């Protein structure tokens, strides 16, 4: 007969996070730069009050348990209060990525069946354009004051300040099954329509706990975190929830992500830790390049969290040497909430020389508790963790998706319950994952794989290269060969020969691109990743000099 433990059984609910923050860290700052201009300051007690008002407002608007509530919003105190108010009330927060094409936004709002759409004034023209096509949305809330209300023609348009000011500042959060849905986020839809990932309260709270671990991001009450990763992208990597868990001071930059704005806000608010994708850091670097009188170390930045794309060696070394900051790289995806692996050194790495340390740091990271990893070949055979055997990456765990909203795309799960990520990777004996490529981006030359990630990162080390992408181009003998596409750094002159000479000393000879072309900019997805489908289309007729 089984013997059960005598422990209280309390559901893991998002409402518990904001209650904890308001009770134990009420006076800790939440700083926001607003879309309409200016800086707003509140604290965790203030976020809790607004979250309670959001919950009351949803009830007034006829939004019930399980109903989806859409947001088209930047990182701000308003969006933060939505994170807790919507989910805490039992509804589902649907953060819409405004960087998607309007047709994709129309599709996902209709697919999610959002009842109400909250939006920042930046997106007022987009909302006005889409409103007639949004079949289930019966109300719109502009997240601003009466003074800045947009003059647009949409039905049932309300003002955020007026709506919340009319609500009580306290709310009794309901208790319910922790497995119920809490939030909904759609993939970027680079191949077909975006697919919805439906998070639960349980998965979100467990994921938040892991984000506090020293071997992951180590959030704590002594940090000032500038959250650059968008709150409409995979729940901002879960940081808003984890920050509430420990009362972290948050700095929210709104839409102001250019290099100057990021630098000045970091300096003004004495940021110690920031999270963002590589494209944002490149803009910061460009600003600093144009202002050599500025000393990045004066910022006092201690750590930088980077995800969304592999960290190049040039970026790693610049943060370490010029900023004096530790780079914490991670890999994940919308479907993994998103933490999958995080790159932190082990005690056994002490004493390694700089070159050996860099090789470890440039790997995406080790698996964290809760996430199982598996590599399989094309036939489904499990591959060894030896650092060289490549395979399709599959993952499982309590915050990994088991399927997509409304069953779109079929089941992504294998017979053992592992989710197919679409990535090709290696894993070494210490459990460090290193991405080789997206399965759809891998370059197969003469039957062998060439890692576009490794070649791109090597190219980024060239002092005249701002950004680089590599794609496969048809070749009569080798099936396909790599074409390197480069964005030169401002003020630098660079040619094909210098790039190839630079790479020749850093990558395998047969990986060397057959050609190099130069462009003013590279296309990116709505989440900041390189849009290689567009590059392949653009250069599909490119004739390699070796062909």
- Residue indicated by tokens 């009466």: 146
Judge whether 262 and 228 are in contact, CB under 8 Å: yes
Q: What is the mean pLDDT of residues 494-515?
A: 89
Q: Which of 209, 224, 256 is the last residue of a domain?
A: 256
Domain that holds residue 530: 443-538
Percent of the chain, pLDDT > 70? 99
SS3 content of the chain, % helix, strand, coil (to 5): 35, 25, 40
**Inter-axis angle of helices 201-211 and 15-24, nearest 10:** 40
The better pLDDT of the pair 463, 174 is held by 174
Give the mean pLDDT of 393-398. Answer: 98
What are the Cα distances from residue 144, in Å, to 52, 114, 163, 506?
A: 18, 20, 10, 52
The position carrying tokens 């970026």 is: 315
Which CATH number do you get for residue 53? 3.40.50.12780
> Are 260 and 211 a contacting pair, CB within 8 Å?
no
CA distance 270 to 243: 17
Q: Where are the beta strands (DSSP E) in 377-475?
A: 391-396, 419-427, 432-438, 443-445, 448-450, 465-475
In 277-359, where do the E strands start and end? 303-306, 326-332, 339-342
Pull the structure tokens for residue 435: 């991405």
Give the up-direction half-sphere exposure of residue 279: CA atoms within 13 A in the CB hemisphere. Answer: 18
Three-class secondary structure of residue 317 per DSSP: helix
Q: Is 15 helix (H, G, I), strand (E, B) or coil?
A: helix
pLDDT tens digit string along 415-427? 999 999 989 999 9
CB 361 within 8 A of CB 425: no
In the sheet where 114-119 sits, what is the strand order?
Answer: 157-159, 139-142, 114-119, 68-72, 92-95, 181-186, 196-200
468-478 pLDDT, tens digit each: 999 988 888 78
Calpha distance 441→394 (Å, rounded): 17
Name the token pair of 355. Answer: 């070159």
Rounded to whole angstroms, the Cα distance separating 411 from 190 reads 18
pLDDT of residue 262: 97
Boundary residue ending a domain (256, 281, 305): 256
Q: pTM of the entire structure? A: 0.87
For residue 260, is pLDDT > 70? yes
The overall average pLDDT reported for the chain is 94
User: What is the mean pLDDT of the segment spanning 231-260?
Assistant: 97
Cα–Cα distance for residue pair 195/334, rounded to 1 Å: 10
pLDDT for 315 equals 93
* Residues making up the chain, counted from first to last: 547
The answer to the question of residue 421 being in a domain is no
Lowest mean pLDDT among 171-175, 398-402, 403-407, 526-530: 526-530
Q: 174 in a domain, yes or no?
A: yes
Instruction: Say if 427 falls within a structural domain.
Output: no
**Is residue 345 included in any domain, yes or no?**
no
For the domain that residue 482 is a member of, what is the CATH number? 3.30.300.30
Determine, yes or no, domain membership for 465. yes
> CA-CA distances (angstroms) from residue 395 to 209, 212, 408, 421?
19, 21, 19, 7
Give the rounded percent of residues in the chain with a pLDDT score beyond 90. 81
Which residues are the active-site residues? 187, 335, 444, 449
Number of domains in the chain: 2
338 upstream amide cis, omega within 30 of 0: yes
> Are the C-beta atoms of residues 62 and 75 closer than 8 Å to each other?
no
Residue 500, pLDDT score: 93
Averaged pLDDT, 12-34: 98
CA distance linking residue 338 with residue 331, whole number of Å: 8
| Cα three-residue angle 396-188-252, rounded to 5 degrees | 90
Q: Which two tokens stand for residue 382?
A: 């499990």
- pLDDT(287) > 90: yes
Classify residue 449 as exposed, middle or buried by CB count within 10 Å of its CB (0-12, 13-18, 19+): middle
Residue 79 resides in a domain: yes
pLDDT tens per residue, range 307-320: 887 888 999 999 99
Band of residue 450 on the pLDDT scale cut at 50, 70, 90: confident
In a domain, 522, yes or no: yes
pLDDT of the residue at 189: 67
In angstroms, the CA 37 to CA 50 distance is 20
Residue after which a domain boundary falls, among 256, 281, 309? 256
Alpha helices in 95-200 (DSSP H): 102-112, 124-130, 160-165
- pLDDT range class, residue 447, cuts 50, 70, 90: low
What's the pLDDT at 191?
59
320-343 pLDDT per residue, tens = 999 999 999 999 999 999 999 999
- For residue 432, being part of any structural domain is answered with no
């Amino acid at each position: 007969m089984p013997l059960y433990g005598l422990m209280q059984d309390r559901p893991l609910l998002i409402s518990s996070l904001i209650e904890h923050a308001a009770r134990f860290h009420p006076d800790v700052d939440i700083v926001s730069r607003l879309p309409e201009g200016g800086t707003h300051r509140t604290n965790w007690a203030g976020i809790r009050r607004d979250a309670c008002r959001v919950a009351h407002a949803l009830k007034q608007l006829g939004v019930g348990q399980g109903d989806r509530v859409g947001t088209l919003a930047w990182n701000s105190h308003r969006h933060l209060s939505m994170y807790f108010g919507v989910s805490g009330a039992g509804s589902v927060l649907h953060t819409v990525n405004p960087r998607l094409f309007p047709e994709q936004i129309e599709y996902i709002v209709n697919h999610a069946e959002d009842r109400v759409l909250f939006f920042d004034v930046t997106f007022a023209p987009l909302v006005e354009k889409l409103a007639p096509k949004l079949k289930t949305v019966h109300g719109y809330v502009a997240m601003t004051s009466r003074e800045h209300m947009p003059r647009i023609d949409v039905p049932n348009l309300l003002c955020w300040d007026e709506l919340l000011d009319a609500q009580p500042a306290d709310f009794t959060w309901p208790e319910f099954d922790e497995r119920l849905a809490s939030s909904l986020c759609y993939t970027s839809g680079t191949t077909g329509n975006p697919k919805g990932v439906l998070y639960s309260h349980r998965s979100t709270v467990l994921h938040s706990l892991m984000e506090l671990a020293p071997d992951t991001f180590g959030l704590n009450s002594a940090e000032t975190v500038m959250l650059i990763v968008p709150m409409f992208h995979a729940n901002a990597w879960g940081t808003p929830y984890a920050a509430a868990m420990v009362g972290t001071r948050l700095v929210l930059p709104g839409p102001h992500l250019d290099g100057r704005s990021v630098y000045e806000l970091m300096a003004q608010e004495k940021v110690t830790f920031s999270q963002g994708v590589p494209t944002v850091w490149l803009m910061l670097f460009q600003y600093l390049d144009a202002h050599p009188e500025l000393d990045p170390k004066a910022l006092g930045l201690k750590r930088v969290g980077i995800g969304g794309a592999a960290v190049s060696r040039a970026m790693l070394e610049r943060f370490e040497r010029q900023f004096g900051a530790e780079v914490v790289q991670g890999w994940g995806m919308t479907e993994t909430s998103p933490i999958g692996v995080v790159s932190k050194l082990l005690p056994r790495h002490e004493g390694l020389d700089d070159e050996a340390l860099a090789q470890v740091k440039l790997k995406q990271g080790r698996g964290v508790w809760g996430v199982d990893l598996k590599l399989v070949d094309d036939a489904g055979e499990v591959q060894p963790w030896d650092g060289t055997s490549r395979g399709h990456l599959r993952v499982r765990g309590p915050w990994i998706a088991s399927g997509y909203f409304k069953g779109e795309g079929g089941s992504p799960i294998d017979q053992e319950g592992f989710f197919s990520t679409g990535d090709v990777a290696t894993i070494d004996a210490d459990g460090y994952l290193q991405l080789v490529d997206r399965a759809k981006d891998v370059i197969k030359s003469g039957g062998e794989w060439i890692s576009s990630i490794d070649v791109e990162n090597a190219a980024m080390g060239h002092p005249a290269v701002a950004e680089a992408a590599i794609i496969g181009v048809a070749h009569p003998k080798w099936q396909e060969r790599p074409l390197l596409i480069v964005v030169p750094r401002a003020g630098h002159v660079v040619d094909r020969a210098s790039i190839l000479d630079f790479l020749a000393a850093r990558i395998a000879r047969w990986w060397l691109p057959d050609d190099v072309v130069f462009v003013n900019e590279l296309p990116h997805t709505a989440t900041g990743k390189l849009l290689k489908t567009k590059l392949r289309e653009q250069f599909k007729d490119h004739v390699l000099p070796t062909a």
